[in-house]
A and B are shown apart, each in its own frame.
Chain A
């Protein structure tokens, strides 16, 4: 666990505290969420990750008013967090690392296997911070490189009309906070270039360049928090300040054999971010593989899903939904998951016809799904699903008006 690195390094000690804060703020959200409970599954509210579609078999928790196993578990985690604070106070770093492992394991399970509904970009940040701080050598270097790489990799999803044309923000009633609509593409392109190029200077031995990059990203995080709130900057910006703030010092890349797991993790991050590009169609429209990497502000979504349930007795019932904000990712997989579970649970259902219309950044609504019976379809987690139409195949059914962010 390479505890000595933390014991001898003030920067890593603060980074460890920042990670603990990330778990606190994340589990505060999980505490009140009912999406990973038995009652959520029974009422068709839960959705498993595409690569672990039988997650309900692992759901053992229940939330109030149906039970209290979930709040009990999170209070145990809260106690563990307090215990870790005490161990930090005692400077018992190895014990602190060991005590944090249950929090890491539960968060890792929830993110990758527990549910599709609690995931945020910041969960990927926490997992990388934790892997480096808990398990890898050369912690300071790989934390710094990981942070910079997150900026750079996020531009892969920003090379799209949402950011190049500024369509994400021009397609909203409120535009970009404080700036006129005509200037939106200037700022969105500035962010792309900064994250692609300037971010690397956070690692620079040149103090002026390093500080310039830090000031830019500090301003960026404060400004973007007007939209995203406290959660994201608490996780990311706290770590940025610890690693690149007043205690910053240049850290040379390690090339010994101990560094191989760290480099392996970096390669894995890059491959995960690029993976949606190898799936047919625009991943922002089909959502296939969209969450394999970072997907923050990747597109301003609007969608309409319409299902007609045909009973064996000849009766029909409509189940319709529209998106309520740009942030709702409009993933047809989620509707597929819920509707196929409904078919499996209700023996009196004959079939369910389903259409799904999706618009990106104020562009046309494409009918990306149009099927007579969604219950007969399967969803592949890796690769393209033929029943989801790409932008080249889908029919345009209409055009949207401006959207809301929340």
Chain B
């Protein structure tokens, strides 16, 4: 019998920090400038026109009050400390050993413009991790400047621009071809880089046809950007032919390896013919996402594209590690400095602790566990797997539909997700846009969670499906056991009501109430 969590979130009714405190209270004192300093330079050093006259309207609270307030906020944050089968994000354990190593002053208090002689340790780690990713992908050079997976996709578009510019063909190679099921960052970054986006529709079998690709690529195609397997858990078996077709048209081929977890150790982007790929260190390689970064999109490419990489590139010169900034064909930087280095160190630590066998085992487990999850989900009435005609086992995640249950009960996938939070279970990922199945959700079992965890998660899904039949209104008004009730969404699109700061809230909402005599 599966044990369903009886969860109650901490509920502190915590005020917004802007409401807290008392005039003159202090949380942090700074020393006064030394007497020798003021004697030498005087006071009121900011020129009159730029000297601040008003006092910033910040809270005035004690050190303890700040600590308590933010601890309360952390307690009102689930943060995956239940069970999260959040598809497309590959939930992992984040090693505290690695985390604590990066907090040491030897990394935390290091400046990227220090002389390389004083940076040999961190450069060695970056260099060694580059080597690990080269082995996993077959690529020749990795850089870590991109601040996330989307930024690595953007890096690809910048490299492609430099590549075509170098050939005098940037005016001709103006298009990027992708699948309508590719992660939104691929079309979005290509568009932001100035390329025209060509989206290929999906066929019955779950992926775009080779014929559609052939029709789409031409002498105008700068690059294709594609993930495989996709978020449905479907692997495109024609991917080698895709790369061949694209290359025959002269296009560059970029492998978005967001969904690497099920194929790590098993596929090599280079052997499949790709020119470049990216790995998300905050997903596949055990670094935290931290609610949305700092993250790293590790971007790797062949020697043919390496001259166009953003600088600097970490290289080994004899016994020394150096930062190569002298790359005249470089596309330019996508972000300042070398990247989110602590996350690179954590990913290096993950790779070393897993080893080649551990990485292979993890992809085995993630695909087996996902199929176990699929089997159990299929036993719950009202749920339907996407592309039901495909009988083959899915990869490391699967797109499902709540469509039949919604038709039966009126409970939508959004309602369902809200209710999951009541059990201390992170709401599932639904789907990227566009939604190509009704009421989608996309779970991913991964190698972290035990079979018992998966059973518990399935038990909660089954229970909510039952609740949807017995008391749909209760599900639709969830969450009920969370720190706060369901938020009313109408203000998010209403310029008269949205308030992105306390200042705006006071002006638009509290001020309005005051006028009516409410506040």
User: Do A and B associate with each other?
Assistant: no
The interface of chain A, by Cβ under 8 A from chain B, is none
